Amino acid sequence: MCNTLLPLACTACLAFVLLAGLGCLDNLAAPDKPALPATLNWGASSDSSSDGEAVEATRLSVSNATLDDLRSRLKAFKFVEPVENSGFEYGFNGAFMKQLVSHWLNKYNWRVWEDRLNSFPNYFTRIEGLKVHFMHLKPSKKGVKKRVPLLILHGWPGSVFEFYKLIPLLTTPDTDGLAFEVVAPSIPGYGWSEAAKKRGFSAAACARVFDKLMVRLGYRQYYIQGGDWGAGIGHIITREFPERVLGFHTNMPMQPFRQPSVIVQMIAGSFLPDGILFSKKDGQKTFPYFEKLSDIIRESGYMHIQATRPDTIGHALSDSPVGLAAYILEKFSV
Ligand SMILES: *[C@@H]1O[C@H](CO)[C@@H](O)[C@H](O)[C@H]1NC(C)=O
């Protein structure tokens, strides 16, 4: 018993000392803040109009011509035969896509969902040269004692549409009379927000744009919720504009991997039993490390092409609704 416990205790002790030291190193190594880009106008260079402060109410609408074009493309769907006895392990399954396209053509009615989107107040405003779309909802029901501003941020592959069930829950007062004033913007390039025309539009640039949006709406301080890119953007707001942030909630917390302590923790954690450096639950999610890493690599091919050659994949996806559906829905398949 002693023979097995002693080396374990020593290793744990050593790991603790190492981690404490590396924690200090982390503080020296980590820059305080991510650099905000110097560009303050992401619109086309030929466009010299300035932002202004105007906030314009809008009704979201897709033209009949666009819907007709969609139908003709869905009718021209080319079946991709799946490998025998395969599910979704090689990507989106062709047999399932056949059913999906049939549903899309015959049962799905865009106008119903367009009305649903328009049951929320939608707005446009111009920030840093970009037309930014957002939903803005104030609780109107009686019984509201305290209103709290909340910026909610979507990610990829997503849009503000993800929040249509959540928003009414947030704007309805709880038993203490607390309700949220919700601002849900579309990330530039997503949904109805204009994409940047210049190079270098980063999560940090987007964080600055959304903070300007909140200030323009009169919120000097606000809460943030974010997942995926929304998590990254929200995190940067907390670091860049801490005086504005009342609180930050995320469904995708991240540990910065460049920190020496994290790297050592991961290596040590893979040798030690769960429950020492990591809780049992976290250990199960993290180890065996290379197995988990290969799962992540298998699931993130999209990220590599989007990060390196977005315009190449962009041609394929904007020209084919079925291709786009496969590309996005694959992420919801198992
Ligand atoms: C689409 O066509 C219908 C029927 O002609 C018409 O009532 C409707 O206003 C059109 N919608 C748009 C957005 O143009």
Which tokens go with 7? 């080396």
Query: Is residue 118 in contact with ligand 1, taking CB distance under 6 Å?
Result: no
Least confident segment among 48-52, 114-118, 128-132, 157-161: 48-52
For 53-58, which contacts have Cβ atoms below 8 Å and span 24 or more sequence positions?
53/125, 53/216, 54/125, 54/126, 55/123, 55/124, 55/125, 55/216, 55/217, 56/123, 56/124, 56/125, 57/121, 57/122, 57/123, 58/122, 58/123, 58/124, 58/133
Tell me: pLDDT of 161 over 70: yes
Mean pLDDT within 35-58 = 92
115-151 confidence digits (pLDDT tens) = 999 999 999 999 999 999 999 999 977 889 999 999 9
Look at residue 269 and tell me whether its pLDDT is greater than 90.
no
Q: Is 50 in the pocket of ligand 1 (CB under 6 A)?
A: no
Residue 42 has which token pair? 């992401």
Q: Is the CB of 72 under 6 A from ligand 1?
A: no
Q: 256 is written with which tokens?
A: 């910065």
Closest ligand 1 atom to the C-alpha of 67?
1
Q: What are phi and psi of 223, to 5 degrees?
A: -90, 160
Distance set, CA 191 to CA 159, 170, 186, 307, 325 (Å) = 6, 22, 6, 19, 15
Q: Is 133 exposed, middle or buried (0-12, 13-18, 19+ CB in 10 A)?
A: buried
Reported confidence tier of residue 268, pLDDT bands at 50, 70, 90: confident
Closest residue by CA, ligand 1 atom 9: 64
Retrieve residue 8's tokens: 């374990």
Atom 3 of ligand 1, nearest CA residue: 64
Q: How far is the CA of 191 from the centre of ligand 1 (A)?
A: 21
pLDDT of residue 34: 62
Q: Residue 228 corresponds to which tokens in the numbers above?
A: 């995926």
The residues spanned by each domain of the chain are 2-30+257-296, 55-256+297-332
* pLDDT for res 102: 98
Give the mean pLDDT of 68-90.
95
The arithmetic mean of pLDDT across residues 293-318, rounded, is 93
Q: Which atom of ligand 1 is nearest to the CA of 62?
A: 13
Nearest residue CA, atom 6 of ligand 1? Answer: 64
Average pLDDT over residues 283-299: 88
Residue nearest to ligand 1 atom 7, measured at CA: 64
Residue 321 confidence (pLDDT) above 90: yes
The residues, ordered by sequence, that sit 6+ positions from 304 with a Cβ below 8 Å of its Cβ are none
Residue with CA at minimum distance from ligand 1 atom 10: 64
Record: fold of 55-256+297-332: Rossmann fold (3.40.50)
Distance of CA 36 to the CA centre of its chain: 19
* CA atoms in the 13 A half-sphere facing the CB of 104: 20
- What's the rounded Cα separation, in Å, for the pair 68 and 296? 38
Q: What is the reported pTM? A: 0.86
pLDDT tens string 173-230: 999 999 999 999 999 999 999 999 999 999 999 999 999 999 999 999 999 999 999 9
Ligand 1 contact via 64 beta carbon (within 6 Å): yes
- Rounded Cα distance between 115 and 119, Å, is 6
Q: Whose CA is nearest to atom 13 of ligand 1?
A: 63
Cα separation, 141 vs 23, whole angstroms: 49
65 lines ligand 1 (CB under 6 A): no
- Which mutation among 58, 60, 64 tests ligand 1's pocket best, with the greatest number of atoms within 8 A of CB? 64
Ordered DSSP codes for 87-141: -SBTBS-HHHHHHHHHHHHHT--HHHHHHHHHTS-EEEEEETTEEEEEEEE---S
Instruction: Please say whether the beta carbons of 135 and 183 come within 8 A.
Output: yes
Gap between the Cα atoms of 174 and 244, Å rounded: 24
